[in-house]
Chain A
Amino acid sequence: MFFIPGFVISLFTFPGVIIHEAAHMLFCKIFKLAIFDVCFFQLKNPAGYVIHENTRNFTAAFFVAMGPFFVNTALCIVFCSAAFMPVWELQIEDPLAYFFYWLGLSMGMHAFPSTQDLKGIWALAPGEAKQGNLLAILSYPIVAILYVLNFGRIIWADLGYGIAVGILAPLAIFKMLV
């Protein structure tokens, strides 16, 4: 496994970082949480952040933390779907298609919520789950998997996720439509 400094990865996949932070911010606004500070992109660690109000509302905490996962994954699927056919199936050398694929993979690579975000959900989930909150119950496996995958970033799990979503989802959509 070769090592590439984080800022280099962030630089090459900056659209994903910006969308990730924008998704956090979007859900903060939807759930009317105060946003104290935002950085959409920087060549430092972390590559971006949103400092927002803590909440005891599990739904809000869940969606604010998981927002980038849903938004980035959805955009990854859409952009990769548009480029999937020429790049993977038809082997057409179309620069625009490759550009869209890069854009899609950038989004997919930055879909994982940070460990900090996941910790927030993890802390609230037991209490909510005891009260029968279905979202809290469902969040357990999701958060657990994402937690593990987050550690897997060291072995490019984020890139693997982007590629898997960027290939398998368009393929599934295509099979469904044809």
Chain B
Amino acid sequence: MRKANCTTCNTAIPLSSAYRVDDAVYCEACANKRFDEMKAAGKVPRVTTITDPTICAKCGLDSGNSELSLTAGLPFCMPCSQAVMERPFPTWLKGSLAFVFALLLVALWHGRPYFKAGKSLARGERLLEQQRYAEAIPYLQPVVQSAPECEKCILLLAKAQLLTGDVEAAQKTFGGRTQFEKNDLSDEVLQIWDRAVRAVDTAGEASKLSDQKKDEEAAAKMNQAATLYPEMKGLSITAEYYDAAVAFDHKDYNRFEQIAETAWKQQPDSAGAVAMLASAVACQYAITGDSSYRRRAEELLERARVLAQSSPNDQKNYQEYVERIRYRLQSREIIDKDEYDRRFRQNSSTKGKG
């Protein structure tokens, strides 16, 4: 240990307990006194502690008169020098860090299904932006299944379903939910939903009018529904059927054929559309007697038969209209279904016109 004499009281003190006030060395008491004096004189003294190069700065080991080697500018004994230079991370910290990294792996593993769902959501969203609504549905459906509380997911799927005309599926997606956080997406989807619901209601009214044999009013209503919600192809198709019924009622067989032709072009694989065209062509045959109409009607009936195989309901309908159309072709007499049923059938319950 080295000693120094206080500049004021001349007492010998350990160097490590001495203070330097500006350039002079003092014991603690004299240093404080000198500091106060200088401060009172309006000066700002510089006070520092003094390092004894023979005392270890960490453990206080006294090496007598021999100076310790400096580490980072301070005297340290060998073990302390090693300790400050090679200070290890504590075991608890290493354990905690290992735990954190294990958690990180768990977090990434745990997040995999969410990432997959998120990816699917992003793809679905992108397809929606590109107006590829039908393609977006298979991406958005699993997202809603895995995140049933996700409003954005529900709204995006419902939007895709509504814009492909599938109101029923959209209703299932909403699951009775009508309240969503107000934002651009919810406003847009609820507007489409409202439009679709109004269209479906209007179509329901049209159907009732049709049952009451008010064909013209029914066709007008159905066309209104189809215009309101053009995404639902079924509405425009039904509107065409209703228009065809009106044309049939008015004995405007050219118009009937024209409508039926358009409907068939729109849905070439529909047994109903093929049958309606067969019916219209049979009417043309009944009026003109042109055998080319008859041949075409027969061909169309055969096509309708083949197409109807795929569905029991289509088969049932086929059985009903094929009889009437064949009668029209054989007799060249145009009568509607009610009249046909009255003459040739009992207990008939199916709907139809021409």
Q: Mark A60-94, 1 if CB is under 8 A from B, else 0.
A: 00000000000000010011011101100111111
Number of interface residues of A (CB under 8 A): 37
**A104 CB to nearest chain B CB (Å):** 9
Other-chain residue from A38, A79, A90 in contact with B107 (beta carbon distance below 8 A): A79
Interface string of B56-79 (1 = CB under 8 A from A): 001000000000000111000000
Within the complex, what minimum Cβ distance (angstroms) separates A88 from chain B?
Answer: 10
Residues 100-143 (chain B) with a chain A CB within 8 angstroms: 100, 103-104, 106-108, 110-111, 114-115, 117-119, 121-123, 143
CB distance from B95 to the nearest CB of A (A): 12
The 10 closest A-B CB pairs, nearest first, are A82-B107, A53-B72, A34-B72, A90-B147, A85-B114, A82-B111, A85-B118, A34-B84, A35-B87, A178-B122
A15 to B2, CA, bound (A): 45
Instruction: Indicate if the CB atoms of B103 and A90 lie closer than 8 Å.
Output: no
- Is there a chain B Cβ closer than 8 Å to A32's Cβ? yes
| B104-A97 in contact (CB<8A) | no
User: Mask for A2-38, Cβ within 8 A of B = 1, else 0?
Assistant: 0000000000000100110010010001001111101
Known A-B contacts A33-B72, A34-B72; A82 and B104 likewise in contact (beta carbons under 8 Å):
yes
Check: A145 CB closer than 8 A to any chain B CB.
Answer: no
Q: Provide the residues of chain A in CB contact with B147, threshold 8 Å.
A: 86, 90-92
Known pairs A90-B118, A91-B150, A91-B151; list 10 more (Cβ under 8 Å).
A15-B100, A25-B89, A32-B85, A78-B107, A89-B150, A90-B114, A92-B149, A96-B107, A100-B103, A178-B118
Q: Which of B5-57 contact A (CB under 8 A)?
A: none
Residue A151 is within 8 A (CB to CB) of chain B in the complex:
no
CB distance from A65 to the nearest CB of B (A): 17
Beta-carbon contact of A90 and B150 below 8 Å: yes
Are A83 and B121 in contact, CB atoms less than 8 angstroms apart? no
Q: How far is the CA of A29 from the CA of B89 in the complex (A)?
A: 10
Instruction: Decide if A121 is an interface residue (CB 8 Å cutoff).
Output: no
Complex Cα distance, B153 from A34, in Å, reads 55
The answer on a CB contact under 8 Å between B150 and A92 is: yes
A85 touches B111 (CB 8 A): yes
User: Does B309 touch A at the CB level, under 8 Å?
Assistant: no
For residue B110, which residues in chain A have a CB less than 8 angstroms away from its CB? Answer: 82, 96-97, 100
Tell me the minimal C-beta distance from B88 to chain A in angstroms: 9
7 of the cross-chain contacts (CB-CB < 8 Å) are A54-B72, A79-B104, A85-B115, A85-B118, A86-B111, A90-B150, A91-B150
Q: How far is the CA of A85 from the CA of B120 in the complex (A)?
A: 12
Q: State which residues 89-112 of A face B: CB under 8 Å.
A: 89-94, 96-97, 100, 103
CB pair B84 A78 closer than 8 Å? no
- How many Å from the CB of A148 to the closest CB on chain B? 30
Query: Given A53-B73, A82-B111, A91-B149, does the pair A35, B84 have CB atoms closer than 8 Å?
Result: yes
Q: Is A156 an interface residue when CB atoms closer than 8 A count as contact?
A: no
* List of B residues within 8 angstroms of A25 by Cβ: 87, 89
Minimal Cβ-Cβ distance residue in A for B86 = A29
Number of residues of chain B lying within 8 A (CB) of chain A: 36
Inter-subunit contact A90/B93 (CB<8 Å): no
Tell which of A36, A81, A103 has the most Cβ of chain B within 10 Å: A36
* Residue of A whose beta carbon sits closest to that of B94: A22
**Residue picked from B110, B117, B146, B149, most chain A C-beta under 10 Å:** B110
| Interface presence of A122 (CB below 8 A) | no
**Chain A residues within an 8 Å CB radius of B220:** none
User: Contact between A90 and B143 (Cβ–Cβ < 8 Å)?
Assistant: yes
Q: Which residue of A lies closest to B108 (CB)?
A: A82
Neighbouring B residues of A91 by C-beta, 8 Å? 147, 149-152
Q: Does B306 contact A (CB under 8 A)?
A: no
Is A40 interfacial (CB-CB < 8 Å)?
Answer: yes
Q: With a CB–CB cut-off of 8 A, which chain A residues contact B111?
A: 81-83, 85-86, 97, 100
Chain B residues closer than 8 Å to A103, beta-carbon distance:
100, 103
Interface string of B132-171 (1 = CB under 8 A from A): 0000000000010011011111000000000000000000
User: What is the CA–CA distance of A82 and B104 in the complex, to the nearest angstrom?
Assistant: 8
Tell me the bound Cα distance from A174 to B151 in angstroms. 20
How far apart are the CA atoms of A40 and B89 in the complex, in Å?
A: 10
CB of A93 within 8 A of CB of B149, answer yes
Docked complex Cα distance between A75 and B153 (Å): 29
**A15 CB, nearest partner CB in chain B, Å:** 7
Q: Of the candidates B84, B85, B121, which one forms a contact with A89 in the assembled complex, judged by CB atoms under 8 Å apart?
A: B121
Q: Are A34 and B103 in contact (CB under 8 A)?
A: no
Please state if B93 and A40 are interface contacts (CB–CB under 8 Å).
Answer: yes
Q: Which residues of B contact A35 (CB under 8 A)?
A: 84, 87
